[in-house]
Amino acid sequence: MSRLDFDIAHLLAGLLVLISFLELYQDRLYALLNTYALHALVLAASVAWQAFVQDAPHLYVTAAIALVFKAIVIPVSLHRIIVRLGIHRQIEKVVGVGPAMLAGIGLVALSMVVMLRVTHGADPLAREDLAFALSVVLLGLLMMVTRQNAVGQVVGFMSLENGLVLAATGAKGMPLVVEISVAFSVLIAFIVIGIFLFRIRERFDTVDLQALDSFRGERR
């Protein structure tokens, strides 16, 4: 494919990594949700571009699903949940911004090295897209690990899933049925998490993990 197609795909994938870093930096809930919406939007754009370049019309559907569900429905619903539960709107972090960013850079370097070594003979666009996708997955995991707030962890899980979708589209083709099942599983997971959040909030008046820890069975 031409140089420009390559570059735009690259740029969108890199933008996704950048937005993952931006999510790591946020410490207010609404800003985090808006950043996540942006993340899903860029994912939709990236998948749509892949559909255009690879001439695979079913990927347009994936892009539409990403756009509608992940960029609009989920952030709006989470927003409503936060308002209704009255959740504390500042996200406490386990590690500070500086070490988290440094760890993020280390993870990106690691995924670069791993992916470029492992996929030695493959198509260059796919290789580097996979490297970026692994970075997004690892950054999503990092976000889950360094957040005290349950909503923050949910967003981390979501962005991890976005990374997986990027990897799947980059690897040339994902049948629609798989995507529908993935979307439904995400929806169900989201509903379950939402229900749990409601119950937790009802019982304990907080969703802060450190406060919840004191209610666990084993005492230290």
Partner 1 sequence: MVLIRDLTIQGAQMLLVLFLAPLFTGFVRKVKARLLRREGPPLIQPYLDLVRLTRKDVVLADSASWLFRVIPYLVFAATWVAASLVPTFRTGLLFSWSADLIAIIALLGSGRFFLALAGMDVGTSFGGIGSSREVMIASLAEPAMIMIVFTLALIAGSTQLSTVAEFMASPQVGLRVSLGLALVGLVMVAIAENGRIPVDNPATHLELTMVHEAMVLEYSGRHLALIELSSSLKLILYVSLLACLFAPWGIEAAGAALPTLAVGIAAYVGKLAVGGFLLGLFETSIAKMRVFRVPEFLGAALMLGLLATLLRFVSGSF
Partner 2 sequence: MTLTVALVCAAVLLALAAFAVIIGRSRAATRVIYGASMVIAAISLVAAAVHLLGAAEPLGVTLPLGVPWLGAHFRLDALSAFFLIVVDLGALSASLFALGYGEHETAPQRVLPFYPAFLAGMTLVVVADDAFTFLFSWEFMSLTSWALVMSHPRVPENVRAGYVYLVMASFGTLALLLAFGLLAGPGGLYAFAQMRVAPPSTTIGALALILTLIGAGSKAGVVPLHVWLPLAHPAAPSHVSALMSGVMTKVAVYGFMRIVFDLAGASAWWWSIVVLAIGGITAVMGVLYALMQHDLKRLLAYHTVENIGIIFIGLGLALAFKTHGMAFAAALALTAGLLHVFNHSLFKSLLFFGAGAVLTATGERDMEHLGGLIHRMPQTAFVFLVGCAAISALPPLNGFVSEWLTFQAILLSPQLPSWGLKLLVPAVGALLALSAALAAACFVKAYGVTFLGRPRTCAAEVATETDRFSLAAMMLLALLCLLAGILPGLFIDALAPVSSALIGARMPVQIGAQWLSIVPIAASRSSYDGLLVFLFMIISGGLAASAIHRLASDRLRRAPAWDCGYPDASPVTQYTAMSFAQPIRRVFGTMIFHAREHCEMPPPGDTRPARLVVDLSDPAWDWLYAPLVVGIGVAATRLNRLQFLTIRQFLTLVFGALVILLLVLAIWS
Interaction site with partner 2 (CB under 8 A): 98-99, 109, 113
Phi and psi based region of residue 55 (left: phi greater than 0; alpha: psi -120 to 50; beta: remaining): left
* DSSP label at residue 122: S
Is residue 52 part of the contact set for partner 1 (CB under 8 A)? Answer: no
Nearby residues of 133 by Cβ (< 8 Å), 6 or more positions away? 13, 163, 164, 166, 167, 170
Min dist. Cβ of residue 104 to partner 1 (A)? 8
Q: Judged by CB under 8 A, which of 94, 97, 122, 178 binds partner 1? A: 97
> Binding partner 1 by CB under 8 A: which of 57, 80, 90, 124?
124
Q: Is 210 exposed, middle or buried (0-12, 13-18, 19+ CB in 10 A)?
A: exposed
The residue (of 96 and 175) whose beta carbon lies closer to partner 2 is: 96
**Given candidates 94, 95, 109, 122, which one binds partner 1 under the rule CB under 8 A?**
109
* Beta-carbon contacts of residue 58 (< 8 Å; ≥ 6 apart): 51, 175, 176
Site residues (vs partner 1, CB under 8 A): 3-4, 6-8, 10-11, 13-15, 18, 21, 25, 97-98, 101-102, 104-105, 108-109, 112-113, 116, 124, 128, 131
